């Protein structure tokens, strides 16, 4: 799925490889759980690479953004009457809390301050210092955890700590670094400062214990950021 939502979704070799992996996944579903688990949705997985070949990244034909925003709209409602007016009021309140900074002539980022926390919304990707939402990769391959977001001469910077070790995941069907997936550990105690436009990918960390040192598996959570 990482391949099929990436820029490599239409690449012949990567697309074929993704299709082979999904086919093997469906085969193993039957081995592990029995034929009764081979329902329509599971069977459909073996055709996803064809959709990616025709339309590019599966995000191009995904309804997830619409479904996610519907949840946001529902949370804005406080009473049963006048739902449209309530939503409009909440949206206007949120916009009033946002300010816009320009990184370059073609890119605008919204600096958001809520409940004492600062975040930046840029091209639909949220840059935050909140735990669990603050891991990013940089242009030079570093994986960092953001602690703070600062402005200098109307330019945005992030401060944080970087992982000193990045390696390929063990027992992976291909070198995981080719998909921007890494095993990271040894978080540095030193603080580093990085320009916002040096961040290229938002990541999610899954903790694992390896050799008595806390290791994380680092997966790309978003498309590459464009500034």
Give the tens place of pLDDT for each residue, 22-42: 999 999 999 999 999 999 999
What proportion of the chain, given as a percentage, has pLDDT over 70? 86
Query: In 3-state terms, what secondary structure has residue 212?
Result: coil
8 A C-beta contact, residue 58 and residue 78: no
pLDDT at residue number 99: 54
What proportion of the chain, given as a percentage, has pLDDT over 90? 42
pLDDT at residue number 190: 94
CA-CA-CA-CA dihedral for 107, 136, 16, 31, to nearest 10: -140
Confidence tier at 110 by pLDDT (50, 70, 90): confident
Mean pLDDT over 8-34 rounds to 94
pLDDT at residue number 210: 59
Q: Mean pLDDT in the chain?
A: 85
- Residue 199 to residue 19: CA distance in whole angstroms: 30
8 A C-beta contact, residue 71 and residue 17: no
- The pTM assigned to this predicted structure is 0.69
User: Which of 161, 163, 151, 156 is CA-nearest to residue 195?
Assistant: 156
- The domain limits of the chain are 1-62, 97-227
């Amino acid at each position: 799925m990482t391949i099929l939502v990436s820029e490599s979704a239409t690449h012949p070799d990567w697309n074929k490889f993704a299709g082979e992996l999904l086919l093997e996944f469906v085969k193993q579903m039957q081995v592990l759980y029995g034929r009764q688990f081979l329902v329509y949705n599971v069977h459909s997985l073996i055709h996803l690479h064809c959709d990616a070949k025709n339309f590019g990244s599966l995000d191009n034909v995904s309804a997830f953004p619409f479904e996610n925003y519907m949840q946001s709209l529902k949370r804005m409602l406080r009473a049963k009457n006048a739902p449209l007016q309530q939503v409009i009021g909440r949206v206007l309140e949120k916009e009033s809390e946002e300010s816009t900074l320009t990184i370059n002539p073609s890119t605008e980022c919204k600096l958001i301050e809520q409940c004492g926390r600062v975040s930046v919304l840029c091209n639909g990707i949220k840059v935050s210092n909140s735990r669990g939402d603050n891991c990013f990769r940089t242009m030079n391959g570093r994986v960092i955890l953001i602690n703070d977001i600062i402005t200098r001469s109307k330019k945005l910077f992030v401060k944080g700590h970087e992982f000193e070790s990045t390696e390929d995941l063990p027992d992976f069907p291909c070198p995981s670094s080719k998909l921007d997936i890494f095993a990271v550990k040894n978080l540095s105690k030193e603080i580093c400062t990085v320009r916002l436009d040096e961040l290229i990918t938002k990541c999610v960390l899954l903790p694992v214990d390896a050799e008595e040192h806390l290791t994380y598996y680092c997966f790309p959570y978003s498309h590459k950021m464009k500034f």
